[in-house]
């Protein structure tokens, strides 16, 4: 519902010729994730967030179903559908209201279509080989949800007896005045929420949930929810809107906000790549080895409240996405309209169809997604290859970053340049020199242990060896 900001870690690391990330030393609460197997499809997956209201001119499930073959051809493996349930009327914001003000957990918003339409969407996606996860809002409901009358004890009350608006993770009321805070001290509420989640698994065949403001809820609720839901869907996938290591005790994936915000700063030139080294080192110390982290350059919150990737990153949105796709542990995510070059800040509470400002970007995203699919070294979590920093020198090298990922015979060399001019970078310490394929140019290239790589302004170059044939 809103971004939970986390601080980007900025401590400087001394740059040697080659820096390999150290093995993690995990806190006790994170170690439990070792017993949490991820569905096999997640390892090389790319996620797509669907804003149904804005994705098509009609803003309906039926219209979006026609887009599925295009998204699959782009390479999308899983769809995250923003909430499809009816939206509350009382205290509604804007003309159509917030997706995250749920008036009925087990129904479909008639503005989007019917339950049968949604079942058809899931069936179509599955037939194309895509998974579907539904955005789930467990922290609060609309003020006109039937539970407010049927189960008044399921809500947090103010001193005057009125129902509180949503409360943040510090116990303070938020400005989310269109939603009512649920009280997770009540066991009946907990089971009622899990039952509603189970209903979607059983009734529509979805594959899991993206859980809104997940860290606001008690950890033991999520553990109980997962334990019950995997009985229905053994391959259940859960994404937490949170950035806390402890969430991996119940969730497959968390947001990597710190990487997102640092990516924006790198693109603007207000942070150095030593901060990225520090962030990656902290990640390895703090998170489970097999943690999946969602990496992104845009999302519904980022687009609406902070601007499109073009506003925040300028021409460096492309090398930024290459980084998000290739760094260790990541599952990259695209948001509605990115592949069309949408530059608008989409209105959150009203209809505002995406623009196709630059459809040619689809070719870039298709090729970058294929890079993820074709290279085992880029698999997410502990399944991927070792990541090793390559030191680079030369004019403009302070705005460039290079690293390798290696798994068995597969090696990927990634170089990005966030300067506004081309750079000729001298590198040293390439552990496996030899013949590579320039992934984006499609040409053969010889890389020695020490050499020079020229990278375009606001650009990237990726070299691979031992890749699988892209699907």
Could you list the active site residues?
212, 241
Distance, in Å, from the CA atom of 251 to the CA atom of 234, rounded to the nearest integer, reads: 14
Please give the structure tokens belonging to residue 78: 């899983």
Token look-up 């553990």 returns: 223
Which residue intervals of 132-186 are DSSP H helices? 147-150
Question: CA angle, 239 as apex, 152 and 193 as ends, to 5°?
Answer: 20
By C-alpha distance, which of 357, 271, 344 is closest to 7? Answer: 271
Are the C-beta atoms of 215 and 244 separated by less than 8 Å?
A: yes
Pairing relationship of beta strands 179-181 and 208-211 according to DSSP bridges: unpaired
The set of residues, in sequence order, having a beta carbon less than 8 Å from that of 170 and lying 6+ positions away, is: none
Name the helix (H) or strand (E) containing 450.
Answer: strand 450-455
Strands across the sheet containing 434-438? 18-20, 386-390, 400-407, 410-417, 459-465, 434-438, 443-447
Are the C-beta atoms of 178 and 97 separated by less than 8 Å?
A: yes
Residue 257: φ, ψ to 5°: -60, -40
Are the C-beta atoms of 379 and 43 separated by less than 8 Å?
A: yes
């Amino acid at each position: 519902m809103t971004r939970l900001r986390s601080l980007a870690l900025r401590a400087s690391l001394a740059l040697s010729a080659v820096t390999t990330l150290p093995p993690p030393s995990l806190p006790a609460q994170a170690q439990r994730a070792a017993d949490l197997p991820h569905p096999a499809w997640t390892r090389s997956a790319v996620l797509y967030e669907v804003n149904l209201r804005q994705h098509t001119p009609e803003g309906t499930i039926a219209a979006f179903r026609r887009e599925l073959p295009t998204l699959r051809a782009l390479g999308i493996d899983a769809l995250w559908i923003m909430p499809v349930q009816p939206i509350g009327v009382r205290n509604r914001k804007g003309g159509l209201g917030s997706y995250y003000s749920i008036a009925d957990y087990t129904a479909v918003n008639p503005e989007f279509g019917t339950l049968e339409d949604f079942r058809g969407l899931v069936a179509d996606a599955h037939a194309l080989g895509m998974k579907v996860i539904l955005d789930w809002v467990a922290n609060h409901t609309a003020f006109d949800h039937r539970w407010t009358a049927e189960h008044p004890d399921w809500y947090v009350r103010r001193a005057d007896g009125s129902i509180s608006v949503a409360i943040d993770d510090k116990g303070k009321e938020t400005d989310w005045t269109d939603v009512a805070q649920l009280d997770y001290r009540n066991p009946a509420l907990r089971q009622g929420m899990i039952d509603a989640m189970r209903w979607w698994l059983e009734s529509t065949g979805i594959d899991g949930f993206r859980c809104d403001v997940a860290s606001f809820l008690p950890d033991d609720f999520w553990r109980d929810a997962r334990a019950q839901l995997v009985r229905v869907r053994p391959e259940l996938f859960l994404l937490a809107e949170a950035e806390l290591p402890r969430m991996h005790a119940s969730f497959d994936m968390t947001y990597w906000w710190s990487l997102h915000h640092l990516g924006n700063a790198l693109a603007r030139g207000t942070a150095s790549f030593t901060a990225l080294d520090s962030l990656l080192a902290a990640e390895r110390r703090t998170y489970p080895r097999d943690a999946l982290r969602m990496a992104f350059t845009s999302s519904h919150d980022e687009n609406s409240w902070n601007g499109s990737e073009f506003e925040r990153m300028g021409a460096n949105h492309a090398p930024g996405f290459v980084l998000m796709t290739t760094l260790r542990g990541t599952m990259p995510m695209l948001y509605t309209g990115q592949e069309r070059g949408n530059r608008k800040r989409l209105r959150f509470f009203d209809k505002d169809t995406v623009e196709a400002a630059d459809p040619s970007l689809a070719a870039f995203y298709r090729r970058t997604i294929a890079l993820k699919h074709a290279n085992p070294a880029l698999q997410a979590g502990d399944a991927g290859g070792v990541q090793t920093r390559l030191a680079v020198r030369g004019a403009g090298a302070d705005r460039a970053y290079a690293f390798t990922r290696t798994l068995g015979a597969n090696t990927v060399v990634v170089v990005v340049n966030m300067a506004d001019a081309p750079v000729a970078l001298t590198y040293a310490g390439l552990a496996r020199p030899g013949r590579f394929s320039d992934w984006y140019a499609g040409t053969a290239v010889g890389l020695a242990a020490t050499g020079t790589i020229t990278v375009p302004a606001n650009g990237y170059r990726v070299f691979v060896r031992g890749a699988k044939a892209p699907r």
